Amino acid sequence: MQVVKVPDGSRVQMILNGKVVSWLLINDLKMRIGSALVRVGGIGGVGTLKSHRKRGYSRLCLERAVKAMREQGYDMSLLFGISDYYDKWGFASVMPEPRLTVTQDRAGERNRTKGQKVVAFNKQAHGRTVLSIYAENNRGRSTSLARPSLNKWRPFSLGSYWDIKAEAFVVTDGSGRLLGYAAYDKKDKKKQGGGFKVTEIGYRDPEVFSTLTDQLARLAAKRREKNLVFHLPLDHLYAEYLQRYGAVQQLTFFRSAEGMAKIIILKKTLNKCAGEFSRRLKDSALGQAAFVLGIHTDIGDVTLEARYGQVNIVDGARGAMQVTIPQNLLTQLLLGYSSVAGVAGRCGVSIPAKAMAPLRALFPRGCAYLWQADRF
């Protein structure tokens, strides 16, 4: 088994008789947990030669990858997985998949704002501003990635699925100021039908929404698609805007599949979230509360100490409030996928009644989302 450094990560590969027979990639990424940034190993590119499948080689590669991520100091790991496989290594579903559907004829009411202009996206001309808008729109969205600098960014290289490319346009005002952008699936003759897929929306000001919608409706009409299907978190402001067109919203949760994550190093991860915990606490009814909350997990024990709105993380579980929770369920709490009440009755969980309010303040429900262009 080898771990080989590659650009922007590592490659784990199993070699038999001098031949690579099974492999995966660890993508070195920065992921948000609210306002915090953690280092994440994004598992992708998993594969095994057809002649060597069903021999446990992929399992061995993943086990080595988890060990390598711990050795290399990753905080967490993230992947998009098949059903009922990756949970064996402690990965838990953390991202529901949202969809919004609007009929093309309703969206195409020709509401384009006067003075606004639609231009094809160009990385050199628009990339820096688009990255800035993206960062501002997603600065508190858990599981969204901190995108790299312009020279390393590969803009909108992925559409609504792994083998689909994307295109994008921007909207400018009369002075050329970039107001917003949209990405959508590139036309593929073999994959027509199922709607016109929009994979990302970014905006500087909501006044751009009408022009974005009008242009997307025109593109859908040109492809003779009856529906526009938006891959968009349901708490996004543009999702609310689409309600005026009779948008149908769908949110799919997964038992053990699709966007999944696990904590690799417990204290290091929670330490990086200490500022976000403090912010959450200050925004809650317990803003000035003082408490000590011990947390026991299968990957270690920590204590969260809160005093006057500031949260600190220390080794070991101590204090009057002692919580026991498996790492996979703690990960779901951390990323807002599950509520405290929702995990309280789960197997292996013990939460004293007096710990419920502090936990609710520190681990609120959220709308985690990783945009299609950033998936791996």
How much is the pLDDT for 191? 60
pTM for this predicted structure? 0.94
224: buried, middle or exposed (CB in 10 Å: 19+, 13-18, 0-12)? exposed
Q: Where residue 269 sits, what CATH number does that domain have?
A: 3.30.1050.10
102 & 45 share domain: no
Structure tokens at 226: 């009856």
CATH number of the domain that residue 32 is part of: 3.40.630.30
Residues 248 and 114 in one domain: yes
> At residue 244, what is the residue type?
R
Position 369 in a domain: no
What is the Cβ-side half-sphere exposure of residue 118, based on CA atoms within 13 angstroms? 17
Which of these, 2, 29, 15, lies nearest to 371 by C-alpha position?
A: 29
Is 70 exceeded by the pLDDT of residue 34? Answer: yes
Answer yes or no: is 155 within a domain.
Answer: yes
How high is the pLDDT of residue 193? 66
Percent of the chain with pLDDT over 90: 94
Is 87 found in the same domain as 104? no
Classify residue 20: in a domain, yes or no.
Answer: yes
**Residue-number span of the structural domain to which 76 is assigned:** 2-92+255-262
| Assigned domain for 191 exists | yes
Q: What total of structural domains would you count in the chain?
A: 3
Q: Which residue has tokens 């024990």?
A: 301
- pLDDT tens across 149-206, in order? 999 999 999 999 988 999 999 999 999 999 999 999 998 756 656 899 999 999 999 9
- Domain membership flag for residue 376: no
Half-sphere exposure of 80 toward its Cβ, with a 13 Å CA cutoff? 15
| 373: in domain | no
Q: Specify the amino acid at residue 165.
A: K
